[in-house]
Amino acid sequence: MSKKDLKELDLKLEDGEEKVLFEDLDETSEEISEKKPENEMEELLKDNLPVIPEEGTKIKGKVLEIDTHSLFVDLGEMGVGIIYGKEVKDGFGSNRKKLKPGDEITASVIDQENEEGYVELSVREAIREEAWKDLSKKKDTGEIISVKILDANKGGLMVEVNNITGFMPVSQLTAEHYPRVEDGDKNKIFEILKSYVNNDMRVCVIDAILDEEKLIVSEKEAYKEEEKKNIAEFKVGDVVEGEVSGVVDFGAFVKFFPPSRSDSKDDADKLEGLVHISQLDWKLIDNPRDVVSIGDRVKAKIISIDDTRISLSVRELKADPWTQVGEKYKVGEIVEGVVNKLNHFGAFVYLNEDIHGLSHISEFISRYPGKNVDEVIQTGETYLWQIMSMDPNKHRMGLKFVGELKDREKLMKAKSASAKSTGEIKDVKKSVDKKVKVEKSESKEEKEKPAEKEEK
């Protein structure tokens, strides 16, 4: 407004009107001064209010305080979060004791503002994911950890790592804890496994898959490097002496000390190797328990070393009976043999304690059509066999079923008759040859006589 306009307004207004006017102006001015800042503040606060993440979102915060029933978390401008007692116990488990004010944690929002005005949080899912990440890291690094055995079943042991239940198969136990039972009774094995419950064991994580909730640990893996160092003291061909520590269907385990610990009396210092059933003896063995027992002292030869697996042979230290088989038996000879076992290949037959042969199923099918092998011969019985082939290097002998022992006399007569017949044929042949020779001689003489007459 210009000065001229103000002057004209001043002349027109009376004193009372002027007062009212300026009072109104003052009042309007006050309203403007009050309302404008208030609206601006609202807008300002509205624009700068902290946004609480939606439910299920993971956020980080620092521990403010821990008490018996809850844990308070500083969320910065978002305020204070709270994790209630049961959730703390279930989520953190034994790790809760390690938390202290100032520690940073990750939690999920389950209520943006509860009745007490806190942001209610859950650590269960976040801690679960962190736990699996840690397990995966332990697997990659091969970290050795101590676990408590929670329970047992016939397949192995239940353990807990990071509040997650895992499993240790029987095959992943060390030689010290591997349950070996003479008769292989699963119930006895289960009893041994149950005796480990509440014990602590050193293990490594060998499998950790979050999506499948699969956690597998191994005690053997925890001692792998140490065992490798001990195994490095041996080489293939070395002979060891030890004690049979277990007998199973597929062979026998033998424990022995490495040279560097030969004076030790601690069973944990021993290495263990496997003598496969085929390496226990040169003869066929159906049950290793027929040959060795737990506690037996044996000598064995190392035939292979694969990482931490040692394969042994007892038979390699014994004379191979097949090297002299050619001196005892000949192809075509008829011999006695005991049927050891029958299967779809035919019959396994022992000629003596060490030498065995196979009478193939085809021999029986051709001679006894429509009959099974066990209808012709019986396991444990002795019969007559003809040796059809021999391969001492491969420990193989092919046999043909000839008959029962009572048929021996009949066979001998047939053999004798065959020999006699062969002799008669030879005599006839000699006679014929002689006659032919005489006839040739006479023919020559007849040709020579006319020539003599002409000369005379």
> What's the rounded mean pLDDT across residues 338-350?
91
Give the mean model confidence (pLDDT) for residues 321-341.
Answer: 91
Identify whether residues 148 and 169 lie together within a single domain.
Answer: yes
Q: Are residues 326 and 298 in the same domain?
A: no
Compute the distance between CA of residue 79 and CA of residue 107 in angstroms, rounded to an integer.
Answer: 14
Return the number of other C-beta atoms located less than 10 Å from residue 456's C-beta: 4
338 and 389 belong to one structural domain: yes
- Look at the chain and count its residues: 456
Instruction: Give yes or no for a contact between 147 and 160, defined as CB atoms under 8 angstroms apart.
Output: yes
Domain annotation covers residue 282: yes
Structural domain contains residue 417: no
Domain termination residue (choose one: 222, 251, 277): 222
Instruction: Please report how many Cα atoms fall inside a 13 Å half-sphere around the Cα of residue 276, on the Cβ side.
Output: 9
Classify residue 151 as exposed, middle or buried by CB count within 10 Å of its CB (0-12, 13-18, 19+). Answer: middle
- Examine the domain organization and report whether 215 and 266 are in the same domain: no
pLDDT, tens digit (0-9, with 9 covering 90-100), for 223-273: 888 888 889 999 999 999 999 988 888 999 999 999 988 888 888 788 999
Mean local confidence (pLDDT), 321-332 = 91
Q: Say if residue 147 is in the same domain as residue 162.
A: yes
Work out the percent of the chain whose per-residue pLDDT is above 90: 41
In the chain, the largest separation of any two C-alpha atoms, in whole Å, equals 209
End residue of a domain, out of 161, 187, 222: 222
Assess if residue 311 is contained within a domain.
Answer: yes
Instruction: Based on the fold, state whether residues 149 and 214 are members of the same structural domain.
Output: yes
**Residue 192: inside a domain:** yes
Segment 419-437 mean pLDDT: 49
Whether residue 419 lies inside any domain: the answer is no
Residues 330 and 374 in one domain: yes
Residue 166 lies in a domain: yes
The domain of 308 spans 238-317
* Residue 214 in domain: yes
pLDDT, tens digit (0-9, with 9 covering 90-100), for 137-176: 999 999 999 999 999 998 999 999 988 999 999 999 988 8
72 plus 143 within the same structural domain: no
HSE (side-chain half, CA atoms, 13 Å) at 158: 9
**Distance of CA 7 to CAs 2, 15, 18, 378, Å?**
9, 14, 13, 143
**Which CATH number fits the domain that encloses residue 309?**
2.40.50.140
Residues 179 and 136 in one domain: yes
What's the structural domain count of the chain?
A: 4
With a threshold of 0.75, does the pTM exceed it? no
Q: Is the pLDDT of residue 92 over 70?
A: no
* DSSP codes joined into one string, 20-74: HHHHHHHHHHHHHHHHHHHHHHHHHHHHHPPPPPPTT-EEEEEEEEE-SSEEEEE
Interior angle at CA 347, CA 344 and CA 348, nearest 5: 120
The sign of the CA dihedral 241, 246, 247, 252 is negative
Whether 300 and 352 share a structural domain: no
The C-alpha torsion from 350 through 352 and 354 to 359, rounded to 10°, is -20
| pLDDT score of 10 more than 80 | no
Q: What is the pLDDT of residues 18-58, one digit of tens each?
A: 444 445 545 555 554 454 455 665 555 555 566 778 888 88
Q: 327 and 309 in one domain?
A: no
Rounded to an integer, the average pLDDT of 413-417 is 58
| CA-angle at 281, arms to 276 and 285, nearest 5° | 75
Kindly state whether residues 332 and 289 are assigned to the same domain.
no
Residue 172 lies in a domain: yes
